Amino acid sequence: MTLTAGTTELKIDIARVGVVSALLTMPDKPRACYVLAHGAGADMRHSFMEHVAAGLADRSIATLRYNFPYMEKKQGRPDPPAIAQATVRAAVEEAARLCPVLPLFAGGKSFGGRMTSQAQSKAPLPGVRGLAFLGFPLHADNKPSVERAAHLSGIEIPMLFLQGTRDRLADLHYLKPVIEELGSKAKLHEVAGGDHSFLVLRKSGRSNDEAMQEVLDTLAAWINERA
């Protein structure tokens, strides 16, 4: 396949699972490719995902978005971890095939980011230089705990945590010690006033778009440093 600038619709075949849809967004002169997984409640075409893909393209970073099988089939409950992790792995392999000369990074929104980190902890994702989380879901809504972070200690590549300070799924009093224990391989960027999707209150004095530009600038700079 000859890749040109723009967004291309694809299919990814997951062994013993099935086929899911994907979208490759390619800028004119890409410096890297970010394999971007969606959150639990919305698919790869959600406005958040579209905004991230377009914003990274503007910053010369390609993205490969994809659906998890449950979302492809329009089922309500997320896939079991083994299936979700196999999907992440298949998506990374497809990105490596389509963009063989580009440095690869992976991660995603909430559930998608966590499934990516779980996959990496089980066995390194081929060619992936770092993981970036757009709102890591450390615990259930307003129920602080750290159990979901246990697998992160087994990851040896760099990690970036982009977290809103109002995120009810990642109490920073719990997340900060987790990241400190991970040492130099992990970095936390706090988005002041942002919720789990980086939306800010009107009284914060800035717009949702301004908060999202901060997220995209930080993510792009982190990727470029490692690409």
pLDDT in tens, 56-92: 999 999 999 999 999 999 998 999 999 999 999 999 9
Residue 64 inside a domain? The answer is yes
Residue 214 inside a domain? The answer is yes
**90 and 64 Cβ atoms separated by less than 8 Å:** no
Residue 220 inside a domain? The answer is yes
Q: What pTM, to 2 d.p., does this model score?
A: 0.96
Residue 1 inside a domain? The answer is no
CATH code of the domain in which 97 resides: 3.40.50.1820
Reported as a pLDDT band with limits 50, 70 and 90, residue 4 is confident
What pLDDT does residue 1 have? 60
Reported as a pLDDT band with limits 50, 70 and 90, residue 2 is low
Question: Residue 33 is inside which H or E element, if any?
Answer: strand 32-37
Residue 154 inside a domain? The answer is yes
Residue 119 inside a domain? The answer is yes
Q: What is the pLDDT of residues 131-157, one digit of tens each?
A: 999 999 999 998 999 999 999 999 999
Residue 73 inside a domain? The answer is yes
Residue 43 pLDDT exceeds 80: yes
**Cα–Cα distance, 51 to 220 (Å, whole number):** 14
Q: Which residues have CB under 8 Å from 103's CB, separation 6+?
A: 31, 32, 33, 129, 223, 226, 227
Q: What is the pLDDT of residues 89-112, one digit of tens each?
A: 999 999 999 999 999 999 999 999
How many structural domains comprise the chain? 1
Cross-strand pairs, 217: none
Residue 123 inside a domain? The answer is yes
Domain of 100 in residue numbering reads as: 6-226
What pLDDT does residue 197 have? 97
